[in-house]
Amino acid sequence: MVGVVRRMNQLKSQLVRIRIGPGAAVLPNDVTRIHLEFAKKINGGHMGPRKFWREALPRLKYWNPAIPMIVNRTEDQEGPAKMTLYFREAGATLRSDIPQPSSSTEGFAKAPAPVEGERAVTIEMKGRRSEAILKEFMDKTGAMEVQPTPQDEMQLQEAEELEARSKIDRERVRALIEGRKREKAMLAAAHAESAALKAEA
């Protein structure tokens, strides 16, 4: 039962963290899709793009589930790190069957060309901090940041308090286990010494 309660608390904590924070924003209707490309590792100027992907993109997906967000990760640390934003042109009606590449960890999901009635805007991410990338993203898309509700803030505070208590509990249990191990080792050493003395007698 304790395990179920712990998992429920963890789930509630994860849900509130995905609802609020950097990237929690509602995109306008003219944004049709988003494409990111960057290298798998952080060196070579890919730390900011990777952090944006890990922290902001899940929140953007949560608040904009209908907008495709494709991620193309490559092995090329010297390669580009860029985001392509696709917008519906004013008054245009887009086909409903626009092909979308699946995200790739092997560099196979290159940014597609815009279709008729669509335009693309690029954000260069290489060598930039995730905060700067997010700011340019918000400016260029016109996204509306989602403000946390009092309930969200209360749940976040509860989650942080719970995590702090859990950390204290983990340290206490770890110290208890280490103490028992030391005690066992001391008893084993004492038994060995006693056996050695008996053998000599």
> What was the pLDDT predicted at 2?
53
Are 125 and 72 in contact, with CB atoms under 8 Å apart? no
> What was the pLDDT predicted at 130?
96
* Domains of the chain by residue range: 1-20+148-201, 25-147
What are the residue ranges of helices labelled H in the chain?
2-19, 47-51, 57-63, 130-141, 150-200
DSSP code for 89: P
> What was the pLDDT predicted at 71?
96
Q: Tens of pLDDT along the chain (201 residues)? A: 556 666 766 666 677 778 888 999 999 999 999 999 999 999 999 999 999 999 999 999 999 999 999 999 999 999 999 999 999 998 888 877 788 889 999 989 999 999 999 999 999 999 999 999 999 999 999 999 998 888 877 776 777 777 777 777 778 888 888 888 888 888 888 887 777 777 776
The two structure tokens encoding residue 129: 């901090």
Give the C-alpha separation, 45 to 128, whole Å. 7
Task: Tell me the pTM.
Answer: 0.73
Give the C-alpha separation, 73 to 38, whole Å. 5
- Looking at CATH, the fold of the domain delimited by 25-147 is given as Glutaredoxin (3.40.30)
